[in-house]
Structure 1
């Protein structure tokens, strides 16, 4: 596509969008919400309302997206009758008034118009006249139509799926270098976010298209619509060359493409997306073929990166030579150009509210052939088409495009705190969670008797709705309520956080409760999580491995309370390797808080509590960190613990707690597994109380049980 063809296509897309909205505004001025013979504007239900995997799912109460967006946080669904028609008309009249003020060329007006709809009409849906699909978000519908119209050629369009592989290893390898991990970790995660967007943007712009063709870009994955005449292999070569050179093969891009009609792309997106994903997976079997081969033969010299010269290597990446200016600093602080830039990014990131992308090497951070990125704390005086506001800052306008992300890190005097400073006198808490069965939900969650796939609008609505929860809402939570929790990454349908143990404990429960409220307590949408508590000096990469194994345990191994009900895993939290139902976890926190309160009041003896701790720890020490059921002394501990409670917890208000504790001390006949799990819960109970007492001494908050 030539420059003239680009401008012509931009003009056509804006003309279509402007005409479509003008007809809506004309209808609104006459007091009707009918749209172009397509359907009718209504207050939309949350996307989760149409989601089901079971053939006969239980009926859910109606939940609607608020008609007036708050803008300060995600909009939790409201359980009430939909708004009156007069409210929808008033919203659309306000949109019409602002639409008339749009200025700029076709691309700018299209971008600003879509942003305006996102800001003011996110609660407005489009109900199709033929009832062929569920009600879709009006802004979402128009955004996908713009992307389809920009990319289509003779009624066909090409879907490109991209996957940056090696992300986790790249992000966490910085943890091996020891010092300054907190500054480096979030910066690398943010770098991946930018890199993903830049690759998708490069594909669009190299074909004289617009980033309005990017359907989704997050967490190393993107979907882009391109013209069917575009050959993706030609576009890949400069990208692969840059990635291979800059990251030494540690990060690699894999793509899969599929071409179909625009109609089929809309109706059967999940099927086409799966085809593209499968082709990308097949490509993973032969990474960097273009870079490692020449004329069909392997180039062995390219497979080994030799060190030239005597310049020392970077202390962080252990790959690039250090900067000349670094020669006179200590060895553990000598950095290369890239790692020094990332460290500076880590310092600035918490205060950044505006971001811009450019193909020119003029930004704060360079990405080779892909372009550069500039970061700003305040709204730029001159706005270009490539500017984005991060999470709708106070100086943001309704026509500004939003870049949703969670970039919160704890700071002091504008500088990021180290993990030791974040922990204080407490252990560090690690929390990793994701939404269960999301692959199935995207593929089949919107299926019914008439269709077996998910439409483009439904697919993106589900993706973006979940992403907003784990980016914007979590950012708000950390800023306002959990300031000592560090966001390693969050977005899409998963999250990884590190923070003060007491705050991580509270946040785990709060995030689960908010997720239930956000999804309208959908019976098939659930959150699984892994939680670990360690000393601040523990190697991050090791703890990350542990907390990931805890998350997998929560998904695969049912809690002991589920066995009699023949239930499986998922919708659980695994704390230090102990799978618990979320209600069990809350009950455990409540009991721990009661013990702490009784100890603080003096109605329970501190000496008694130290004796209980010593009994528990003595068994763990004898088993080298595990409970040995072959040791008879393990069984002797149970009556001793029961004696301590009966002797000291004598008041009536102690009894609910005592009864709960005694259920853990019950010894079923020959059920060694049950005893083992109960013992682990006892050990966790002791740990929670210890953490809480440390927190109380630092005059912090309480558990949210």
Structure 2
């Protein structure tokens, strides 16, 4: 490991063109730059500029801002300013490295963490025309291979957790107010386990987490020495998962030996083979993972006594409750974890079971608000908050926390009100968003064609072994948007509830109005993040429900909406000759493109303004809705003929006063026979009414006088 540290310092010194030094156990270690080697530090092109699927690569080339380490939005580059920023970053790296004094494994981790923070926006090439690789990623991959390889061979491991959604939403029908913290805790537990399982294996071998290549969503990739394996650990974890997740989750893994040429030059092919093995593994019966070396008589789920059946946890209904509580050990731990998440700033790996997130029978993760004492601890700082710099993991654990006692709870005199500093319940979020008409919004988002982007969209380049760098960089870049990028967007409202956010997807719950607006902002910021790449798009499902509807039912509805957005083309796409879905949003059962949704949302704001000023009545809007629906039920050639008489009568009967001029202005495009967009507007009129109801502050039950 000392040779690896020396090599890392030498690379940094060569890029900086000056010596770099650290201290290992109080002893100074210094590396000079290599004078005979030509290494060019260059602006780092956006990874999306290197993608091409259905369209040519976008022009002009966009670059990662060298000062945007947290969320790398691409921008045009100023070459002169770039050199100035580079020199300042070199000075910071040299200064921070000189202050590092720790054990050898910790020094190596901390140096790489410093480089990852300061040089994330810089790239390197070996030749002027060669491909550009991010400096931190280049070092991370090279270090992982150096620590794992023996005789130019290592073992590549891919792991993936199945049954995540069943576990997260299990028993959610018991009521939204009772499961809010548990829901978030279970989702966070999965993300933490996907990080902790490979981390523990890496620490056992190297005393560092540097063998972990990626840990995003519910999966991970890990590089091990050729003689090591995760198989024994997998069996232990699955036996433990059977208990803690109530037999709903299983860890699937696949392994293969890999040579240096395969690892650096054809990484995606190796990873695809492992993905196929895991997919086949997921089709095996669950019992094959649980009872391969035991009998069902050892299974804690086999209840034999009447007494046991009479007393079960009220949350999972699977295990006996703890003395004096209604919850079993695991559900009580979930509730405690949900309460601790807002204060979590550090994640510590422990070789015992005392942490809040156990992982089998030998390891656990402890969550802390402050850095755990002791320099030898294996720790990660959450979202790069440490100073001095420490290894970082990115997670979006946003929870809507009440800054004062919840006014909704006070109004309804809730028996267990939300106090200042506690997470809001879902019922509170709905009521605070729209007291007159409280509803919840469920939003699920997924990146389109990710598999194709990974396997086909990343253009191979034979001038340098960059295949692994492109794959890992695309994974990291997408994950950074759905963790830190989304977390920053959610800070603008602070009333959205993250179920999961990371990898390439997102699931958020909140007040209907907040969710509807957030979905648009998210899609527009993602387009900016990709440089408006036509091949890298989002699809989303969005549903609005009453607060009392169970999360399980709402989740099924939003899953159907997302599936429709990905597979059923909207009317606009059909008119344009596009017969596939994607790059669109399904709201309930209506699918529209993102641009059309933006126009609908802005029009809904105008309709809501008319309703709030009482220029337009709710009953009048409902009559217009009936007219639109009646017209759409007629043959296509008769749509306009059916709509115009009823809509014109409604306007002349109720909206000819001077103060109602805004209503006539809004209706004008709907009353133009030559409007080419008329039928599309009529088809979306029900959705417009629904969005206007969400945006309106007035009570839809308010009695409005008006004629028939």
Give TM-score, length-normalised by structure 1: 0.85
Superposed, 1:252-651 pairs within 5 Å as 252-286=250-284, 287=286, 289=288, 291-294=290-293, 299=295, 301=297, 305-309=301-305, 310-311=307-308, 312-326=311-325, 334-393=326-385, 396-412=386-402, 413-424=420-431, 425=435, 426-448=438-460, 455-479=467-491, 481-567=492-578, 568-601=580-613, 604-606=615-617, 609-614=618-623, 616=625, 639-645=645-651
Alignment of 1:677-688 (within 5 A): 681-688=684-691
For 1:589 and 1:91, how far apart are their aligned partners in 2? Answer: 43
Provide closer, same or farther for how the CA distance between residues 600 and 306 of structure 1 changes in structure 2, counting only shifts above 3 A.
Answer: closer
| Structure 1 stretch displaced more, 269-278 or 10-19 | 10-19
1:186 to partner: Cα distance: 0.6
C-alpha separation between the residues in 1 aligned to 2:269 and 2:652? 62
Aligned 8 A contact 1:160 1:256 in 2? yes
Deviation at 1:654, TM superposition (A): 5.5
- Map Cα deviations across residues 629-681 of structure 1 (whole Å, 9 max, x no partner): 69x9999676423432455566776566324434899999xxxxx97x86652
Give the corresponding residue for 1:658: 667
Q: Which of 138, 142, 145 in structure 2 is aligned with 1:141?
A: 138
User: Who is 1:702 aligned against?
Assistant: none
Q: Which deviates more, 257-266 or 152-161?
A: 257-266
Counterpart in 1 of 2:170? Answer: 173
Which residue number corresponds to residue 218 of structure 2?
220
Q: Determine which of 51, 66, 74 is the counterpart of 2:71.
A: 74
Gaps of 5+ in 2: 21-31, 403-419, 701-708
Deviation at 1:42, TM superposition (A): 1.1
CA, structure 1 residues 93+580, in 2 after alignment: closer, same or farther (shift >3 Å)?
same
Q: What value does the CA root-mean-square deviation take over the aligned residues?
A: 3.3
**Cα contact 2:627–2:647 (8 A) shared by 1:** no
Question: Are the equivalent residues in 2 in contact too, given 1:43–1:64 (CA < 8 A)?
Answer: yes
* Alpha-carbon separation, structure 2, partners of 1:469 and 1:462: 11
Offset at 1:628? 6.5
Q: Is the 8 A contact 2:100 2:110 kept in 1?
A: yes
Kindly indicate whether the alpha-carbon contact (under 8 Å) linking 2:50 and 2:459 is maintained by their aligned counterparts in 1.
no
In structure 1, the gaps of 5 or more residues are 1-9, 327-333, 669-673, 698-705
How far apart, CA to CA, are the structure 2 residues paired with 1:13 and 1:77?
Answer: 32
Shift of 1:513: 1.0
**Structure 1 residues 194, 664: CA separation in 2 closer, same or farther (over 3 Å shift)?**
farther
The Cα of 1:385 is off from its aligned counterpart by 3.8
Alignment of 1:32-71 (within 5 A): 37=37, 39-54=39-54, 57-69=56-68
Give the Cα–Cα distance (whole angstroms) in 2 for the partners of residues 663 and 313 of structure 1: 65
Whole-Å separation in 2 of the counterparts to 1:108 and 1:301: 46
396-405 or 408-417, which deviates more: 396-405
Is the 2:496–2:510 Cα contact (8 Å) retained in structure 1?
A: yes
Q: CA deviation at 1:612?
A: 2.5
Please give the secondary structure, in 2, of the residue aligned with 1:538: coil
What are the superposed Cα offsets for residues 35-69 of structure 1, whole Å, 9 maximum, x if unpaired? Answer: 87363111212111111124x60542222222223
Aligned length: 655
Deviation at 1:591, TM superposition (A): 1.1
Quote the Cα distance in structure 1 between the aligned partners of 2:19 and 2:163: 51
Tell me what 1:249 maps to: 247
Aligned partners of 1:659, 1:174: CA distance in 2, in Å?
50
Distance in 1 between the 2:590 and 2:337 partners? Answer: 37
CA contact (8 A) 1:429 1:500 kept: yes
State the shift of 1:489 in Å: 0.6
Aligned counterparts of 1:280 and 1:510: Cα–Cα separation in 2: 35
Task: Name the CA distance, whole Å, in 1 between partners of 2:641 and 2:318.
Answer: 54
**Structure 1 residues 303 and 162, CA gap change in structure 2 (3 angstroms):** same
Q: Cα gap change, 1:655/1:518 in structure 2, threshold over 3 Å: closer, same or farther?
A: farther
Alpha carbons of structure 1 residues 302 and 617: separation in structure 2 relative to 1, 3 Å: farther
Verify the 8 A CA contact 2:123 2:132 in the aligned structure 1: yes
From 675, 690, 694, the counterpart of 1:691? 694
SS at match of 2:78: coil
Counterpart of 1:14 in structure 2 is 5
Alignment correspondent of 1:330: none
Name the stretch that deviates more: 635-644 or 103-112.
635-644
Worse-matched range after superposition: 452-461 or 37-46: 452-461
Distance 1:124 1:470 in 2: 22
